[in-house]
């Protein structure tokens, strides 16, 4: 069986499992991406999950290395913000720093979910 024939069978299998073909293509192999019933985007040819960075942007595959680096950066920034908040006495500035901290914590949670789902 040729590689192309196997690829087609794999893509057909995704459709039988309830996946939907999207108009997006894989950034690595240019194969069509499929939306799984779970909502995740999947490349049937590369056999990898694909994450869209922002609405309307080209789909990019996140690697665990990139996500781990991002997680570490967020943790360092959270520590820095914590230090700034503990030294700040102006309630308005504390509130502003708190909003930034909350945003960082939400992003950290998202990164950790992506890392966990990639296991």
Segment 33-52, tens digit of pLDDT: 888 888 888 888 888 888 76
d(CA 28, CA 101): 35
Residue 103: the pLDDT is 94
pTM flag (> 0.85): no
Distance of alpha carbon 77 from alpha carbon 21, whole angstroms: 39
Sheet holding 59-60, edge to edge: 20-25, 32-35, 41-43, 48-52, 59-60
Phi, psi of 83 (to 5 degrees): -65, -45
């Amino acid at each position: 069986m040729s590689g192309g024939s196997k690829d087609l069978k794999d893509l057909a299998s995704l459709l039988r499992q309830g996946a939907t073909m999207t108009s997006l293509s894989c950034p690595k192999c240019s194969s069509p991406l499929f939306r799984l019933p779970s909502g995740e985007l999947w490349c049937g040819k590369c056999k990898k999950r694909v994450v869209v960075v922002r609405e309307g942007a080209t789909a990019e595959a996140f690697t665990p290395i990139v996500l781990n680096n991002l997680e570490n950066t967020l943790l360092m920034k959270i520590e820095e913000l914590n230090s700034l908040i503990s030294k700040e006495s102006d309630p308005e500035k504390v509130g502003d720093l708190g909003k930034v901290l909350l945003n960082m914590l939400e992003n950290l949670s998202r990164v950790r979910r992506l890392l966990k789902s990639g296991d």
